[in-house]
Amino acid sequence: MKKWMFATIVIALLLTITIFKLAEQRGWIASDSGISAADGIIQEIALQSSGQSLEVSDEELYSGDLLLVNSEYPIHPPGTQPDVTKLFGNSELTGPAALLDSELQLSRRVALKFVVMVDAAAQDGVSRFLISSGYRDEREQSRLYKEKGAEYALSPGYSEHHLGLALDIGSTEGTMAEAKEGQWLAKHAAQYGFVLRYPAHKVGITGISFEPWHFRYVGLPHSVLMQKNDMVLEEYLNRLQDQSSISTTIEGKKYEVYYYAPDQLTKLKIPNNRDYALSGDNRGGLILTVYP
């Protein structure tokens, strides 16, 4: 019995050492980010042993909430959200926010999440929101590009507005850089799945000047992790690729995130009896998010 107990302890110690060595090698985000290195590896091992294999289609590789669309990576047809809809006349999709244009469109799913967010802001006395732009097709982007020029607009096919996940949010009280609406969103938007896509101190990474009005839906837990670790989407996707898998707890709920590089897609497995989402990164990789 003593030999058996000793062997069990040795195995446990070796497993612990292995886990933390792997965590160190993969460059995990610091523990104060809410990410557990050890848990991430343990969950990855568990998923590989019990999950169901899934063949990935091209459509899944180029659709989802985490697609990177910028001057280097253009959108592919599957990238546009299938539920893009007109906002005008649908108060359930705008809440207390005003519309600059009656032709504005956005993913219905994202619009509903936007309403939850601005309703929460109203509880804090912040309610003068204005939606000035949402989904744009390539024709509209082309018009804007010709009108504003490359300094103020991306060329057709390279704008996040093609996704239906991004919207420009303003305030009827002043500029977003100074208005309390902008300040509230900068602090709280991540809790609702949105991120400020083009911060002033990340211009060297995004290639886009500071846009305090441009918010992008990426969903939980990604928005919170990006905010806690001061990352824009480009940085976050690179970190996911480096780490392979992470596990994090937000407000008592545990999330798991797995990254599959293009040459690892055959290893993809989805969990049994758990809600999950798949998203391409628009670079050939795939992100699996497992929800609480």
Catalytic residues: 211
* HEC sequence for 74-96: CCCHHHCCCCEEECCCCHHHCCC
Residues 6+ apart with CB under 8 A from 65: 165, 217, 218, 219, 222, 277, 279
Alpha carbon distance 103, 88 (integer Å): 7
